[in-house]
Structure 1
């Protein structure tokens, strides 16, 4: 009896692990779309609204879900702190501190870090160019993430169940 309960628990745990991994594959393209949307809103705030960068970050963060919103709002809060560091340091610190909460990979992080070194230093038109370049790069990453999702999502679910079944067979 105890052996069967253990087998059921192992099957349930393996299945859950597989489904959690599959969820990460599904989450990555969604978060990349949200990030591209946030950068598009930020471009609008800077380009057409003539909004100062901290306020533009805060407004944009209000229109996107977490964890993308936490990156933007974290940078805005750090930037508004008295005697706060330059925008680049605020941006990098915010990206690095919030990154573990995302399903995104290091390629996307590199795009955001490069963007942070360009924002706030130049004129409006140059910032818009950098935002558009980052959006194009994120679109390429999103396409790759969709391919990964199609390739690995179903496999992760199946692999979780199969590995758990193998462990159960070896136990019995």
Structure 2
């Protein structure tokens, strides 16, 4: 009886680990798409609204959800509260504190950080060019993330169940 309960618990745990990994593969393209929308909104605020960067960041945060909202709010809050902190430092601090809550990986983070080092130090047109470049890079990463999702999502679910079944067989 105890072995049976243990086997069921192991199967359940292995299955949940597989499904959790599959969910990360599914969330990555969604998070990249949210970041792309945030940057496009930021581009609109800067380009067409002639909005100053700190205010544009705050307005962008208002229209985001989840980790993206927290990341942009963090940049805006740090810009307003710490006058000695440069935009780049605020951007990097927000990325460091909020990036682990996303399913995005190192290439997306590198594009995000690179963008932060170029915003706030040039004129409006140059900032728009940098935003568009970051969006293009993220769109390429989104395509790769969708490929990974199609390739690995189902495999992760199956692998979780199969590894748990193997452990149960080896124990029993």
Please give the range of the TM-score, normalised by the shorter of the 2 chains.
over 0.9
How far apart are residue 65 of structure 1 and its match? 1.2
Aligned positions, number: 172
Q: 1:78 touches 1:84 (CA, 8 Å); kept in 2?
A: no
What is the distance in 2 between the residues matched to 1:146 and 1:21?
15
Partner in structure 2 of residue 24 of structure 1 = 24
Partner in structure 2 of residue 52 of structure 1 = 52
How far apart are residue 82 of structure 1 and its match? 4.1
How far apart are residue 71 of structure 1 and its match? 1.3
How far apart are residue 83 of structure 1 and its match? 2.5
Render the CA deviation track for 1:80-117: whole Å, top value 9, x for unaligned: 01433110111011111111111000100000111001
Partner in structure 1 of residue 3 of structure 2 = 3
What is the distance in 2 between the residues matched to 1:166 and 1:6?
13
How far apart are residue 72 of structure 1 and its match? 0.8
RMSD value, Cα = 0.7
Render the CA deviation track for 1:5-40: whole Å, top value 9, x for unaligned: 000000000000000000000000000000000000
Q: What are structure 2's unaligned runs of at least 5 residues?
A: none
Partner in structure 2 of residue 112 of structure 1 = 112
Length-normalised TM-score, structure 1: 0.98
Equivalent runs, 1:8-157 vs 2, <5 Å: 8-157=8-157
Would you identify which runs of 4 or more consecutive aligned residues in structure 1 move more than 2 Å?
Answer: none
The residue matched to 2:126 in structure 1 has which SS?
helix
How far apart are residue 50 of structure 1 and its match? 1.0
What is the distance in 1 between the residues matched to 2:52 and 2:109?
24
Length-normalised TM-score, structure 2: 0.98
